[in-house]
Amino acid sequence: MMYFHARYHQEYPPEMGRPYTVFIGTGRGHYVGTVLSSQNAIGHRYGEGDDFFYIDGESEPSILGTGTEDYFNDAWNMLVHSTLFTGCTIFEPRGFAMNSISQVIDSFKPRLDYWSSVSYWYLDRIAEPWCPFPPYKDRVNPEIVLHLPQVVKTMRHSAGVELQVLPYNRATWTKPWFRVKNETTGSWVEISFEVDEEGRYSKSLFQTLREEQGIWKVYIDGREITEGGESQIAGGYSIDEVRQLLPEKVNKVLDFYNIYRKNEHEDFIWDQGRERKTGLFEFGPGTHTLKLICIGANPLFVDPETGKPGYNLAADILSLRKLPFENMDAWQERMLELEKKKK
């Protein structure tokens, strides 16, 4: 009977020009597999990245794979999928090594991505750790979190708008939820947040999608989202071309209507919670604002009693995650210089 082992490992980022290590094992046993995660630093996906197996002190790998996506039973990019032995549970599409203005540098060059993994194996003894286990603060990027029902008193809004903190009437979910009750276009609500450390932040709004809600335009620090940073709101553009589109062609609005509703009371009464990533932004220390302006109603909803459309808004959390990746173009230049020296 062998001992089952699992070991977490991360390299944030791996040393330039050196492969990321997934597993090191010594003794008699059996390698089971790996859960692998990449936080992409250069926009698009990492692409390829062959798997190497060095056995019994080999200087050259006796097993050489054909790409990371192939190792997880996919090919030609990754897709979300689940099978008996392999799968990809989360994938936010992009592709290859690119610079900050979306010019493709190369398909098969080193990148600045943050990699982490858990390897699993059986061994005939209790193994010694082959890598240190980093503390929590080194594993998770800093995050600013605003639970909106708790910060209602700090919000500004236009006349005629009512900010509501409402209870859920169910035993299994007792937390309050936040709604902007609104009956017209042009209405607005402004949410302030504090940034302590200058840097590049990924901003998400956790929407509470309901059927009586409208469509709201997004502003960052008084500017349209495309002027404030890199918009990532889904819809209205091809993700691979977002940097190359004119600002008027990029989607700048959030639809709070519950398009995911099914024919069951849970969706109609209790809504759907969805994280919507709104973009990447450079923020300095100080107070910043997210402003939402109602520009219309979703045509799929009309109140059966009044015949009126829905203009409301509901959300749960505003989240800003500080990205550790800076000066990507300079990093790419160093990578290309390293590749030239190899040749």
% of the chain with per-residue pLDDT over 70? 83
- What is the model's pTM? 0.78
**28/30 Cα distance (integer angstroms):** 7
Quick check: 95 and 240 in contact, CB under 8 A? Answer: yes
Q: Which of 128-132, 273-277, 291-295 has the lowest mean pLDDT?
A: 273-277
Identical topology for domains 3-140 and 143-323: yes
- The domain ranges of the chain are 3-140, 143-323
Is pLDDT above 90 for 289? yes
Residues 319-343: tens digit of each pLDDT: 999 887 767 778 778 878 887 887 6
Torsion, Cα 94 252 321 72, to 10 degrees, reads -20
3-140 folds as Jelly Rolls (2.60.120)
Is pLDDT above 50 for 244? yes
Once rounded to an integer, what is the mean pLDDT over residues 181-194? 97
Q: Strands (DSSP E) along 19-169, which ranges?
A: 29-39, 52-53, 63-64, 81-82, 87-88, 97-98, 104-106, 114-123, 143-147, 156-157, 162-166
Q: Half-sphere exposure (CA, 13 Å, Cβ side) for 53? A: 9
Residue 277: what pLDDT? 85
Question: What Å distances lie between residue 14 and 22, 117, 206, 298, CA to CA?
Answer: 11, 13, 32, 46
Residues 5-29: tens digit of each pLDDT: 999 999 988 888 788 999 999 999 9
**113/92 Cα distance (integer angstroms):** 14
CA 84 from centre of chain: 26
143-323 folds as Jelly Rolls (2.60.120)
Residues 78-116: tens digit of each pLDDT: 888 888 999 998 886 556 666 666 567 766 677 778 899
